[in-house]
């Protein structure tokens, strides 16, 4: 009896040590995305929000998280919004992120950036990781993994990330220790800020494609997004961000326009609304036209916020005590980051659209 008791204690102690060591190693080895490539942190940051009663949810790739500023939407229209986007987020990932968001709240409007329709299969394991890893474990995450995995990937690697990142021990930095259990927020309601400017003086020409048709899988998830919104009474809006490249082909545009007409879904192609928005590619982009900087994002938000507010009646939540408090902090963090980046990139704060407009 005594021997049996001893064996049980020994087994339990061993199991505890094994689990503890593996847990700590996993925490140490997984990428923290706190500095450098921070895009991988965006999806997880959503869950840190105490109040998730967002009226507008953006889903999509870099064309949403770099081109719309929820802070401006709040400041100017009282729109409580969040961007659930990550780098090269594929349409099936956008679908499952939207589905995941509905666990917390049903928004009035879902904005989907249609850039990802061009992909019928996941192109890169690294992007899959950045889009999916931060999701909380629900059926949506399981389905997102299944829909996204490339040939080399394995479901178990998502369940136990240590299997994926086991060899990162040779590239660990002090950040991995520092942010082992808690990382700082790097986005502003999902918005990725850049204050620096790199004018778009050259736009690479798109190469001819053998086939411009969007694939079956892409359309399947487009239908899924539409049906999810219909089922939940959410107004779906499709947008194309004003990124000068990669090339948005006329053939792509025709398919989206046809779909929007067929299902009566509003579609805004901001490439065609550049003048209306007031975009200036000599001041409003930080990477020569691929993504907008804070100037461009704020102009876009200023323009699009009016549409959301006037045409789709998104509620102005200003005056809600709890939200006012949350947004006051958000705005403060946002401006602090502007100041930090202005110093980092040597940008005159007052030259930014945000402050030059306020001065006028």
Partner 1 sequence: MLFTSYSFIGFTGVLLSVYYLVPRRLQWIILLISSCVFYWVANPASLIYVSFTAFTIWGCAIMIDRDYGIQNEYIRLNKGTISKEDQKAFKARHKMIREIWTSFGIFLNIGILIVTKYFSFLAGLFTVQQNHFTDIIVPLGISFYTLQAVGYLIDVKRGTIKAEGNLFKMLLFVSFFPQVIQGPISRFSDLSVSLFGEHEPERKEINFALQRILWGYFKKLIVADRIAPAVITLVSDPAKYRGAYVIVALVLYTIELYADFTGGIDISIGVAGILGVKVTENFRRPYFSTSLKEYWRRWHITMSQWFREFVFYPVSTSKLVQGISKFARKHLGNRGKKVPVYFSSFIVWVATGLWHGANWTFIIWGMLNWLILTVSEELEPVYAAFHKKVGFSNSYGYKVFMCFRTILLICILNLFDCYSSVRDTISVLASIITETELGELFSDKMLTIGMSGLDYVIVLAGVFVMLAVSLIQEKGDVREYIWKMPYAIRFAIWFALFLSVLLIGAYGIGYDANQFIYNRF
Binding segment toward partner 1, per CB under 8 A, in 32-40, 155-163, 231-239, 304-312: 155-163
Q: Which residues in 40-99 contact partner 1 (CB under 8 A)? A: none
Q: Which residues of 200-230 are buried (b: 16+ CB within 10 A; e: fewer)?
A: beeeeeeeeeeeeebeebbbebbebbbebbe
The closest alpha carbon to 270, from 258, 253, 255, belongs to 253
Least separation in angstroms between CB 5 and partner 1:
14
Shortest distance in whole angstroms from residue 95 CB to partner 1: 24
Beta carbon of residue 25, minimum distance to partner 1 (angstroms, whole number): 7
Cβ(64)–Cβ(70) below 8 Å: no
User: Token pair of 285, please?
Assistant: 């982009």
Buried b (16+ CB within 10 A) or exposed e, 316-355: ebeebeebeebbeebeeebeebbeebbeeeebeeeebbbe
Q: How far is the CB of 6 from partner 1 (least distance, A)?
A: 9
- Residue closer to partner 1 by CB (options 42, 165) is 165
Mapping DSSP onto H, E and C, the string for 28-45 reads HHCCCCCCCCCHHHHHHH
Beta carbon nearer to partner 1, 6 or 357: 6
Q: Which is nearer to partner 1, 162 or 326 (CB)?
A: 162
Which helix (H) or strand (E) covers residue 260, if one does?
A: helix 250-263
Contact track, partner 1, 159-188, x by CB under 8 A: ---xxx-xx-xx------------------
Residue 118 DSSP label: G
**156 lines the binding site for partner 1 (CB under 8 A):** yes
Note whether 25 binds partner 1 by CB under 8 A. Answer: yes
| 146 binding partner 1? (CB under 8 A) | no
By the 8 A CB rule, do 297 and 66 touch?
yes
User: How many residues sit in the footprint of partner 1 (CB under 8 A)?
Assistant: 19
19 binds partner 1 (CB under 8 A): no
- Which is nearer to partner 1, 72 or 149 (by Cβ)? 149
Residue 133 binding partner 1, by CB under 8 A: no
* Lookup result for tokens 């940051």: 45
Instruction: Give yes or no for a contact between 294 and 264, defined as CB atoms under 8 angstroms apart.
Output: no
The footprint of partner 1 (CB under 8 A) covers: 10, 14, 17-18, 21, 25, 125, 152-154, 156-157, 162-164, 166-167, 169-170
């Amino acid at each position: 009896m005594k021997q049996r008791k001893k064996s049980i204690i020994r087994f339990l102690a061993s199991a505890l040590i094994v689990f503890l060591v593996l847990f700590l190693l996993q925490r140490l080895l997984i990428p923290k995305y706190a500095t450098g490539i921070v895009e991988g942190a965006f999806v997880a940051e959503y869950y840190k929000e105490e109040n998730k009663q967002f009226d507008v949810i953006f889903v999509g790739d870099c064309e949403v998280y770099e081109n719309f500023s929820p802070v401006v939407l709040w400041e100017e229209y009282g729109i409580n919004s969040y961007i659930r986007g990550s780098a090269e987020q594929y349409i099936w990932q956008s679908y499952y992120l939207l589905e995941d968001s509905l666990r917390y709240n049903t928004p009035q409007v879902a904005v989907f950036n249609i850039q990802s329709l061009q992909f019928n299969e996941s192109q890169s394991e690294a992007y899959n990781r950045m889009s999916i890893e931060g999701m909380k474990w629900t059926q949506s995450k399981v389905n997102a993994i299944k829909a996204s995995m490339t040939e080399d990937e394995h479901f178990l690697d998502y369940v136990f990330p240590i299997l994926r990142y086991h060899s990162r021990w040779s590239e660990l930095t002090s950040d991995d220790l520092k942010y082992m259990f808690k990382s700082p927020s790097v986005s502003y309601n999902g918005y990725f800020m850049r204050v620096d400017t790199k004018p778009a003086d050259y736009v690479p020409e798109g190469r001819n494609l053998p086939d411009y048709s969007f694939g079956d899988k892409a359309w399947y998830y487009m239908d899924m997004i539409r049906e999810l919104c219909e089922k939940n009474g959410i107004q779906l809006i499709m947008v194309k961000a004003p990124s000068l490249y990669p090339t948005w082909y006329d053939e792509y545009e025709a398919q989206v326009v046809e779909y929007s007409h067929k299902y009566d879904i509003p579609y805004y192609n901001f490439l065609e609304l550049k003048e209306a928005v007031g975009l200036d590619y000599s001041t409003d982009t930080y990477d020569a036209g691929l993504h907008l900087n804070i100037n461009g994002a704020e102009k876009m938000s200023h323009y699009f916020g009016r549409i959301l507010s006037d045409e789709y009646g998104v509620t102005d939540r200003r005056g809600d005590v709890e939200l006012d408090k949350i947004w006051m902090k958000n705005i403060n963090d946002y401006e602090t980051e502007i100041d930090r980046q202005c110093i980092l990139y040597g940008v005159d704060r007052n030259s930014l659209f945000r402050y030059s407009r306020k001065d006028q």
